[in-house]
Amino acid sequence: MSKKPSGVSRRDIIKTVAGLSLFPTIAFSKNQPKRGSAKVVIVGGGYGGVTAAKYLKKENPDLSVVLIEERPFFMSCPLSNHFLAGLMELTSLCFAYNTLEVKHGVKVITDKVIAIELDKKAVKTSQGYVNYDFLILSPGIDYDVEDKPFYSESLVYYPPAFKPGSEHIYLKKLLSEFEGGDIVITVPPPPYRCPPAPYERAALIANMIKRNKLKAHLYFIDANERPLINSEGFMSAYYDLYKDVATYVTSAEVKDVDVRKRIVKTSHGDFKFDIANIIPPMKANSILASAGLIKKKEKWVSVNPLTFETHMENVFVIGDACVSYLPKSGYAAHSEGKVVAKIISARLKGREVKEELLQMVCYAMVSDKEAIMTETSFKYEKDKGRFIPIHREDNQRRESTAKRYIEWAKGLWRDMFG
């Protein structure tokens, strides 16, 4: 631990150490930042942050890597629709962060980030400051409700469940207690976290209605003209499997949500509901705006698309919070975490890193036993500065694809925590 900083009493230091008894080597200060032992600080313990932390330690065993995450454990959003539909236990999606400490030597601080002070190269938490030489920011999304305040109340009563944790648990409770009536799911325009997720959720809830023989109907209200990915596969499932229990409403803008009267008002009419899953528009986590990393009137952080570095040297933003040629997904964040870990490792060793284009894989359930999938590669037209996606969709619903979906997710978790 660094020497006692000025303005900090012995009692303050004892309190800080007591709260961090597992990680006594991390230096905090209550006032101005002092250089501590943290070389790389990572904010956010999702797919991107965990992957970057592990791979940095894997390539640089002696490097000090600190991960700051306010949630006490990792929960996967990929496969969380399985949990909501009663196809998987929540525990299967959850992992302990201390695995990173025990297996890989990553220091984990369970705390909320209050501020990111780029000029001081410091991250402020409720316990004090942690200084960095390299900073990786992967804090995920916030819901973009300022311009449409009617979403604020619906967030409380009918959670979107696009942030891992309590939102999923509460939505699961609503679904488990549902005995019949009308369900409404709304989908915002892009970009939002995981393009196929709302469509998968709608399919699994419609499947749940039929599987449990409920007297119920699902109204799926989409701001888009069609599913954003695997359109043919989702629409085939809708017409073949769920037309009798679901109504798909396209190009419908949500105008208001009355949680007391249980009505969603849209550009295509009003829809009454007994329970709802209201998914609002999304934006980057607000901590990034307060840090000065988001331009006025923009919602996401601009980065070098090949390195994920911001306009600040050695400050990277990965995952859903950045503007990238990749979709906003756990798999994308996982891939981006590896890239940034490789770049930082190379810079520490004075080496160059060859730029690479990443690929994407997306799976989605369309019933309790069948799934569809997409593989996407990219071409980069350097003279025009644009990325061209090349999709290879498998829209034939198959049980074998559903099994591969599970193994794909398990492979990601092994890579992150194994």
| Long-range contact pairs involving 6-9 (C-beta distance under 8 Å, separation at least 24) | 6/31, 7/31
Which class is 146-280 in CATH? alpha beta
Which of 367, 89, 88 has its CA nearest to residue 205? Answer: 367
Q: Report the SS3 class of residue 233.
A: helix
Residue in the block written with tokens 């709260």: 19
Instruction: Quote the crossing angle between the two packed helices 399-417 and 330-348, to the nearest 10°.
Output: 30
Beta carbons of 161 and 84 less than 8 angstroms apart: yes
| CATH code, residues 10-140+285-348 | 3.50.50.60
Two domains, one topology: 10-140+285-348 and 146-280: yes
Listed by start position, the domains of the chain span: 10-140+285-348, 146-280
- Max CA pair span of the chain: 70
**pTM for the predicted model, two decimal places:** 0.90
Distance CA 210, CA 42 (A): 44
> What is the full per-residue pLDDT of the chain (418 aa) written as tens digits?
333 333 333 333 223 323 332 333 344 444 433 333 349 999 999 999 999 999 999 999 999 999 999 999 999 999 999 999 999 999 999 999 999 999 999 999 999 999 999 999 999 999 999 999 999 999 999 999 999 999 999 999 999 999 999 999 999 999 999 999 999 999 999 999 999 999 999 999 999 999 999 999 999 999 999 999 999 999 999 999 999 999 999 999 999 999 999 999 999 999 999 999 999 999 999 999 999 999 988 999 999 999 999 999 999 999 999 999 999 999 999 999 999 999 999 999 999 888 889 999 999 999 999 999 999 999 999 888 899 999 999 999 999 999 999 999 999 999 999 9
- The Cα-based distances of 326 to 233, 261, 315, 340, 415 in angstroms read 21, 39, 19, 15, 20
Distance CA 366, CA 167 (A): 22
